[in-house]
Structures are given as structure tokens and as C-alpha cells.
Amino acid sequence: MKKEFAYFPGCSLEKMAVSYHMSAMETTKKLGVHLKELEDWNCCGATTYSYIDELLAYTLSARNLAIAEQTGLDVVAPCSACYKNMYFTAAHLKKDPDLAEHINFALEEDNLHFTGNVGVKHLIEVFAYDIGPEELRSKVVKPLTGVKIAPYYGCQIVRPQKDHEDVELPQFFEDILSAIGATPVNYPLKMRCCGGSLIISSRPAALSMVRNLLQCAVDAQADIVATACPMCQVNLEVYQQQVNQEFGTNFSVPIMYFTQLVGLALGIPQKKLGIGKEFVAATPALLRVEQAGAASDQETKE
């Protein structure tokens, strides 16, 4: 069963989160899902633009949506902020035809037109619903047995409330982690904000948010925190050292994209998943994965 989606990587995945991009492409390929990158896409406006100029922020996203519409496919974003911006824009413009007309006037310059006839998905929704835990489980060759993983949803994935999800306590991330053989831990702060761009504008506030998230992961005895957003990944990983300095803590928690973990379970080599570029080395935790994999290989041989 071949599934195809228009793919909007977003700026982060070009550089900072290139490992997310690599692992997304590798895993989806392996799972029979084709991600077709949009041609000539632009920035989604990130987390802040809509507060500075709403009209331009909507226009930015509307342009990407209009390009996606031409493909006739649903558009998928791996980044939570990109996803949220596109989803909100599509929903808002459908409700406000005057604004849509106004924006379409601008888009005409580019021979583009937004009609609202496009579905918007986060990459993790593709894994959770289009592929589904059952199929994922059937493709696993190196289950992550015994690895305790905190499913960190972040604050944006379920914010545009969709019918199928419990917005206060979703479970689909846990289902994905269980499907690849890992043990999802109870992570009470799984929906909390990572601080987002506050890390630039109000660093003490953001650092304390990151500290809480890391502490909660440690309390839950997680080996790894899995994320589905480049912003969350950066805040939790890159600033871990600063948190340690600021609060006198001693965190060393690897923060990995869920696609990297899925890739490992699918037997994709670490290098192809961009593993090895982390600030907080995933190696110790991954060693356990390797051992677990070896053990399970042995079991199958026996």
C-alpha cells in the first residue's frame, strides 16, 4: 500500500535539524510512504511572526498551502511550529473568505491560488494514523526492547484539536514507541512548552522550563527523550549544559527525534539517521539498544 504526501521540511530541517530530515526520509521510505518535497517553499513564519504581522504571517503559510494544493496531496510538516501555522492558516482562511480573497490577490503574482482544499498533517500523525502502530510493529527488525523513552509531544502538536485526539492526554506517541519495542515512560509534562523562542528573548524563563522537562524525564527514569519538533529538540538538548550551570544540576539526557528511534528499530544504520551529531551523546543509551538488538537476534536464532 503506497502512501504519498506533499512534504514541507521547513527551515530547521535544512541545517539545525538535518538529522530529523534524514531520518524522516529514511524511515518513511522503508515504510512505503513517499514524501514529495514542495517546490519553492518558503518559511512558515515560525512561532513569532503572527504576533508581529498577522496578514503577512497568513500569507506566508497560504503560499505554501497553495503550492501543496497543486500537488493534490495532503501536506505533511515534521516541525510542530510549521504544522501549527499551516493548519491554523488553512482553518482560518476557510472561515474568513474576505481575507482569503485578499491573500489570493497577492498570490496571483506567483500564479498561485489558495482554495482550502488541502489537508495538513504533522509527520507524527502519518506514523500514528496513516501507517499505524500495527504496521509499524510488523516492520520492526531491531526492537528497542528495554529502552525507556519519554514521549515528549511538546505544546503544539495537538493544539489544533482534531476529532480523534484527547488534547489533554494523548496516547499516540506512546503507541508508536510501544510499536518499536521500547517502553514509553509516564511523562507527566509531555505536553508542556519547551520555552520556544523565549530562549532568545527571556532566557531565564525558558531555562527553567527546560529544567522542569529534563527533571521530569529523569524522575520518570527515561533513558531518552523522544521529540517530534526541532524547536523542542534544540531547547532541551543544546541548552542542557546551560541548565546544568544555572541550576547546579547534572543532566545528561539524550534528546532524539522519534524518526531516529523508529529508524533504529527498522534496522537503518545510525549514520543514515543522522545519529552522532548530538550535543548530548546518545551512545550510552544506544549501546543498550544495540545490546537489546543483539539479544533479540540471538533469541530469533535460537
Partner 1 sequence: MEKKERIGVYVCHCGTNIAGVVNVGEVSTWAAENLKEQGVVIARDYKFMCSSLGQELIQKDIKEHGLTRVVVAACSPHLHEQTFRNACKGAGLNPYLSELVSIREQSSWVHTDKVAATEKSKALIAGGVARVIHHEPLEPLRVPIHPATLVVGGGIAGIQAALEIANAGYPVYLVEREPSIGGHMAQFDKTFPTLDCSACILTPKMVEAGNHPNITLLTYSEVEKVDGYVGNFVVTIRKRARSVNEELCTGCGICWEKCPKKVVDNIFEAGMGTRKAIYVPFPQAVPKYPVIDRENCTYYIKGTCKACEKFCPTNAIDFAQEDQLLNVEVGNIILATGYELFDARRITQYGYGRLANVFTSLEFERLSNAAGPTGGNIVLRDGKTVPKVVGIVHCVGSRDKNYNEYCSAICCMQSLKFAHLVHERTGAEVYNFYIDIRTPAKGYEEFYHRLLEEGTHFIRGKVAEISDAVRLPGEEGKLIIQVEDTLTGNQLRVPVDMVILSAGLEPRRDAKEVANKFGISCSADGWLIERHPKLDPVATVTEGIYIAGCVQGPKDIPASVAQGAAAAARILGKIQQKEIALEPVRASINQDQCSGCRICNNLCPFNAILFHEDRMVSEVNPALCQGCGTCVAACPAGAISGTGFSNEQILSQIEGLLLLNIPKKETVA
Q: Which residues bind partner 1 (CB under 8 A)?
A: 166, 168-169, 188-189, 212, 215-216, 219
**Backbone φ and ψ of 37, nearest 5°:** -65, 135
Residue 210 Cβ vs partner 1, minimum distance, rounded to whole Å: 13
Taking the least distance from each CB to partner 1, the nearer of 169 and 200 is: 169
Taking the least distance from each CB to partner 1, the nearer of 55 and 169 is: 169
Taking the least distance from each CB to partner 1, the nearer of 123 and 157 is: 157
Residue 216 Cβ vs partner 1, minimum distance, rounded to whole Å: 5
Taking the least distance from each CB to partner 1, the nearer of 37 and 166 is: 166
Task: Return d(Cα 91, Cα 259) in angstroms, integer.
Answer: 27
Residue 128 Cβ vs partner 1, minimum distance, rounded to whole Å: 18
- Of 229, 251, 258, which is closest to residue 150 (Cα–Cα)? 258
**Backbone φ and ψ of 222, nearest 5°:** -80, 140
Residue 252 Cβ vs partner 1, minimum distance, rounded to whole Å: 20
Largest Cα separation within the chain, whole Å, is: 67
Residue 189 Cβ vs partner 1, minimum distance, rounded to whole Å: 6
- Of 265, 192, 270, which is closest to residue 229 (Cα–Cα)? 192
Q: How many residues does the chain have?
A: 302
Alpha-carbon distances of 286 from 22, 40, 145, 152, 185, rounded to whole Å: 18, 37, 11, 18, 17
Task: Return d(Cα 35, Cα 75) in angstroms, integer.
Answer: 9
Taking the least distance from each CB to partner 1, the nearer of 22 and 216 is: 216
Residue 211 Cβ vs partner 1, minimum distance, rounded to whole Å: 9
For 281, the 3-state DSSP assignment is coil
Taking the least distance from each CB to partner 1, the nearer of 88 and 247 is: 247
Task: Return d(Cα 157, Cα 134) in angstroms, integer.
Answer: 22
Taking the least distance from each CB to partner 1, the nearer of 169 and 281 is: 169
Alpha-carbon distances of 137 from 73, 191, 275, rounded to whole Å: 26, 25, 22
Which residue shows C-alpha cell 530529523?
20
Which three three-digit cell numbers place residue 228?
Answer: 517530534
Residue 168 Cβ vs partner 1, minimum distance, rounded to whole Å: 4
Which three three-digit cell numbers place residue 72?
Answer: 493534490
Taking the least distance from each CB to partner 1, the nearer of 215 and 242 is: 215
Task: Return d(Cα 102, Cα 211) in angstroms, integer.
Answer: 44
Residue 109 Cβ vs partner 1, minimum distance, rounded to whole Å: 42
Do strands 3-7 and 33-37 pair parallel, antiparallel, or not at all (unpaired)?
parallel
